[in-house]
Amino acid sequence: MKSWQEYVPRPVSKSVRPTLKCEQKCAMAPANLGIALKEKTDAFKLEAHLNYPSAKTKYKSQVEFFVDKLLNK
């Protein structure tokens, strides 16, 4: 199983990495949901990627993720 989670934060700060403990800085459910899902997928050793401002990710978009997974088996 592979997954991709992306969200667009409010303009708080581009250097803020979302965490489950930053209720005031990133008080939005999608960010917290993404973090929780990433922790669960990591526990099951499944590939998952989070994309947020200032993140260093392997894929820049959902399209790149799916193209890589579908064409490069």
Take residue 46 and report the two structure tokens written for it. 């499944």
Mean pLDDT of the chain: 75
Give the tens place of pLDDT for each residue, 37-55.
889 999 999 988 888 778 8
Confidence (pTM) = 0.50
Task: Please spell the DSSP secondary structure of 23-63, one letter per residue.
Answer: TTTT--HHHHHHHHHHHHHHHTT-EEEEE-TT---S-SSHH
What is the Cα–Cα distance from 31 to 42, expressed in whole angstroms?
17
Domain boundaries, the chain: 2-71
Task: Look at residue 16 and tell me whether its pLDDT is greater than 70.
Answer: no
What pLDDT score does 40 carry? Answer: 92
What pLDDT score does 70 carry? Answer: 93
What is the Cα–Cα distance from 54 to 73, expressed in whole angstroms?
29
